Amino acid sequence: MKRMSKVLLVALVLPFLAGCGIQSIPQSKNATEAALAEVSNQYKRRADLIPNLVNVVKGYAKHEETTLTQVVEARAKATSMQIDPSKVTPQQLAEYQKAQSGLSQALGRLMVVTENYPNLKADQNFRDLQAQLEGTENRITIARQRYIESINQFNNLVTVPPTSWTNSIMYHFEKMPQWDMSAEEKATAEKAPEVKF
Protein backbone atom coordinates (compact mmCIF):
# COMPACT_ATOMS: atom_id res chain seq x y z
CA MET A 1 0.00 0.00 0.00
CA LYS A 2 2.84 2.40 0.87
CA ARG A 3 4.56 1.63 -2.37
CA MET A 4 1.40 2.27 -4.35
CA SER A 5 0.89 5.63 -2.64
CA LYS A 6 4.51 6.66 -3.45
CA VAL A 7 4.04 5.74 -7.09
CA LEU A 8 0.77 7.66 -7.18
CA LEU A 9 2.40 10.69 -5.52
CA VAL A 10 5.27 10.66 -8.05
CA ALA A 11 2.78 10.30 -10.90
CA LEU A 12 0.88 13.35 -9.65
CA VAL A 13 3.95 15.49 -8.92
CA LEU A 14 5.88 14.86 -12.17
CA PRO A 15 3.45 16.63 -14.51
CA PHE A 16 3.38 19.61 -12.14
CA LEU A 17 7.17 19.80 -12.05
CA ALA A 18 7.45 19.48 -15.82
CA GLY A 19 5.11 22.43 -16.37
CA CYS A 20 6.30 24.78 -13.65
CA GLY A 21 9.55 25.98 -15.20
CA ILE A 22 12.13 23.80 -13.49
CA GLN A 23 13.64 22.97 -16.87
CA SER A 24 12.28 25.74 -19.06
CA ILE A 25 13.75 28.67 -17.10
CA PRO A 26 17.39 27.44 -17.19
CA GLN A 27 16.97 26.28 -20.78
CA SER A 28 15.67 29.70 -21.76
CA LYS A 29 18.56 31.41 -19.95
CA ASN A 30 21.02 29.19 -21.83
CA ALA A 31 19.29 29.96 -25.14
CA THR A 32 19.50 33.68 -24.39
CA GLU A 33 23.21 33.48 -23.62
CA ALA A 34 23.76 31.51 -26.83
CA ALA A 35 21.81 34.09 -28.84
CA LEU A 36 23.94 36.93 -27.44
CA ALA A 37 27.08 34.94 -28.23
CA GLU A 38 25.85 34.63 -31.83
CA VAL A 39 25.34 38.41 -32.02
CA SER A 40 28.95 38.83 -30.86
CA ASN A 41 30.08 36.22 -33.38
CA GLN A 42 28.46 38.11 -36.25
CA TYR A 43 30.02 41.38 -35.11
CA LYS A 44 33.40 39.64 -35.04
CA ARG A 45 32.83 38.36 -38.59
CA ARG A 46 32.16 41.92 -39.69
CA ALA A 47 35.28 43.19 -37.90
CA ASP A 48 37.35 40.52 -39.65
CA LEU A 49 36.10 41.65 -43.08
CA ILE A 50 36.78 45.33 -42.53
CA PRO A 51 40.59 45.28 -42.97
CA ASN A 52 40.12 43.70 -46.40
CA LEU A 53 37.55 46.30 -47.39
CA VAL A 54 39.72 49.16 -46.15
CA ASN A 55 42.76 47.85 -48.08
CA VAL A 56 40.81 47.60 -51.32
CA VAL A 57 39.44 51.12 -50.92
CA LYS A 58 42.87 52.50 -49.97
CA GLY A 59 44.22 51.57 -53.38
CA TYR A 60 41.67 53.81 -55.09
CA ALA A 61 40.98 56.51 -52.54
CA LYS A 62 44.30 57.55 -51.04
CA HIS A 63 43.12 61.08 -50.27
CA GLU A 64 40.12 59.76 -48.27
CA GLU A 65 42.47 58.82 -45.44
CA THR A 66 40.27 60.44 -42.78
CA THR A 67 37.30 58.20 -43.55
CA LEU A 68 39.47 55.11 -43.71
CA THR A 69 41.13 56.02 -40.40
CA GLN A 70 37.71 56.46 -38.79
CA VAL A 71 36.69 52.98 -39.94
CA VAL A 72 39.89 51.44 -38.57
CA GLU A 73 39.50 53.28 -35.24
CA ALA A 74 35.83 52.31 -34.93
CA ARG A 75 36.74 48.69 -35.66
CA ALA A 76 39.44 48.76 -32.99
CA LYS A 77 37.02 50.17 -30.44
CA ALA A 78 34.30 47.67 -31.33
CA THR A 79 36.63 44.67 -31.18
CA SER A 80 38.19 45.77 -27.88
CA MET A 81 34.77 45.58 -26.19
CA GLN A 82 33.98 42.04 -25.05
CA ILE A 83 30.89 40.84 -23.21
CA ASP A 84 30.31 37.65 -21.28
CA PRO A 85 26.77 36.48 -22.18
CA SER A 86 26.35 34.78 -18.79
CA LYS A 87 27.23 37.94 -16.84
CA VAL A 88 26.03 40.78 -19.07
CA THR A 89 24.73 43.90 -17.34
CA PRO A 90 22.54 46.60 -18.87
CA GLN A 91 25.51 49.01 -18.81
CA GLN A 92 27.84 46.55 -20.54
CA LEU A 93 25.20 45.83 -23.18
CA ALA A 94 24.68 49.57 -23.80
CA GLU A 95 28.45 50.18 -24.15
CA TYR A 96 28.78 47.21 -26.50
CA GLN A 97 25.88 48.43 -28.62
CA LYS A 98 27.39 51.95 -28.76
CA ALA A 99 30.75 50.61 -29.99
CA GLN A 100 29.06 48.50 -32.67
CA SER A 101 26.88 51.44 -33.71
CA GLY A 102 29.99 53.59 -34.17
CA LEU A 103 31.45 50.96 -36.46
CA SER A 104 28.20 50.76 -38.45
CA GLN A 105 28.23 54.53 -38.97
CA ALA A 106 31.89 54.55 -40.03
CA LEU A 107 31.17 51.80 -42.56
CA GLY A 108 28.23 53.81 -43.87
CA ARG A 109 30.51 56.80 -44.46
CA LEU A 110 33.01 54.52 -46.21
CA MET A 111 30.30 53.26 -48.55
CA VAL A 112 29.33 56.86 -49.37
CA VAL A 113 32.97 57.64 -50.21
CA THR A 114 32.98 54.83 -52.74
CA GLU A 115 30.26 56.62 -54.71
CA ASN A 116 32.97 59.09 -55.78
CA TYR A 117 35.13 56.36 -57.33
CA PRO A 118 33.48 54.62 -60.30
CA ASN A 119 36.55 52.42 -60.87
CA LEU A 120 36.32 51.16 -57.32
CA LYS A 121 32.65 50.26 -57.68
CA ALA A 122 33.52 48.27 -60.81
CA ASP A 123 36.40 46.42 -59.11
CA GLN A 124 35.48 42.77 -58.54
CA ASN A 125 37.31 42.58 -55.20
CA PHE A 126 35.40 45.56 -53.88
CA ARG A 127 32.08 44.20 -55.10
CA ASP A 128 32.79 40.85 -53.45
CA LEU A 129 33.74 42.49 -50.17
CA GLN A 130 30.74 44.78 -50.31
CA ALA A 131 28.46 41.78 -50.86
CA GLN A 132 30.11 40.00 -47.93
CA LEU A 133 29.65 43.07 -45.76
CA GLU A 134 26.00 43.44 -46.75
CA GLY A 135 25.45 39.74 -46.02
CA THR A 136 27.14 40.17 -42.65
CA GLU A 137 24.91 43.12 -41.79
CA ASN A 138 21.89 40.94 -42.59
CA ARG A 139 23.28 38.17 -40.37
CA ILE A 140 23.78 40.68 -37.56
CA THR A 141 20.18 41.84 -37.92
CA ILE A 142 18.90 38.27 -37.77
CA ALA A 143 21.14 37.43 -34.79
CA ARG A 144 19.93 40.52 -32.91
CA GLN A 145 16.32 39.64 -33.73
CA ARG A 146 16.82 36.13 -32.34
CA TYR A 147 18.45 37.57 -29.23
CA ILE A 148 15.53 39.95 -28.71
CA GLU A 149 13.08 37.03 -29.04
CA SER A 150 15.05 34.86 -26.60
CA ILE A 151 15.21 37.71 -24.05
CA ASN A 152 11.45 38.14 -24.38
CA GLN A 153 10.85 34.43 -23.85
CA PHE A 154 13.18 34.31 -20.82
CA ASN A 155 11.65 37.43 -19.28
CA ASN A 156 8.18 35.94 -19.71
CA LEU A 157 9.26 32.77 -17.93
CA VAL A 158 10.67 34.64 -14.95
CA THR A 159 7.79 37.13 -14.63
CA VAL A 160 4.59 35.36 -15.75
CA PRO A 161 2.90 32.75 -13.50
CA PRO A 162 3.12 29.81 -12.98
CA THR A 163 6.79 29.63 -14.02
CA SER A 164 7.54 32.90 -12.21
CA TRP A 165 6.57 31.17 -8.95
CA THR A 166 9.21 28.54 -9.59
CA ASN A 167 11.70 31.29 -10.38
CA SER A 168 10.94 33.11 -7.13
CA ILE A 169 11.22 29.89 -5.10
CA MET A 170 14.18 28.18 -6.78
CA TYR A 171 16.22 30.37 -9.13
CA HIS A 172 15.75 34.07 -8.35
CA PHE A 173 16.66 35.18 -11.89
CA GLU A 174 16.05 38.82 -12.71
CA LYS A 175 14.66 40.06 -16.01
CA MET A 176 17.43 40.44 -18.57
CA PRO A 177 18.08 43.77 -20.31
CA GLN A 178 16.59 44.00 -23.78
CA TRP A 179 18.63 45.00 -26.83
CA ASP A 180 17.98 48.61 -27.71
CA MET A 181 19.21 51.08 -30.29
CA SER A 182 21.86 53.57 -29.27
CA ALA A 183 21.08 57.29 -29.37
CA GLU A 184 22.97 57.59 -32.68
CA GLU A 185 21.02 54.69 -34.21
CA LYS A 186 17.72 56.20 -33.06
CA ALA A 187 18.62 59.58 -34.59
CA THR A 188 19.60 57.91 -37.87
CA ALA A 189 16.48 55.72 -37.91
CA GLU A 190 14.17 58.72 -37.42
CA LYS A 191 15.50 60.50 -40.53
CA ALA A 192 14.04 59.56 -43.87
CA PRO A 193 16.78 58.25 -46.17
CA GLU A 194 17.79 60.65 -48.92
CA VAL A 195 18.00 59.14 -52.39
CA LYS A 196 19.90 60.99 -55.12
CA PHE A 197 20.53 60.03 -58.73
pLDDT digits (tens), the chain, 197 positions: 777 776 666 556 555 555 566 788 899 999 999 999 999 888 888 888 888 777 777 766 665 677 778 888 888 888 888 888 777 788 888 888 888 888 888 888 777 776 666 666 656 777 777 888 888 889 999 999 999 999 999 999 999 888 888 888 888 888 888 877 666 655 655 554 443 42
Q: Output the CA angle 22-163-93, nearest 5 degrees.
A: 90
Tell me how far apart the alpha carbons of residues 70 and 106 are, in angstroms, rounded to a whole number: 6
CB 78 within 8 A of CB 102: yes
pTM value is 0.66
Homologous superfamily of 23-183 in CATH?
A: LemA-like domain (1.20.1440.20)
Cα separations in angstroms, 181 against 28, 137, 160:
23, 15, 26
What is the per-residue burial (b if ≥16 Cβ within 10 Å, else e) of 91-128? eebeebbbbbbbbbbbbeebeebbeebeebeebeebee
End-to-end C-alpha distance for the chain, whole angstroms: 86
- Would you list the domain boundaries of the chain? 23-183
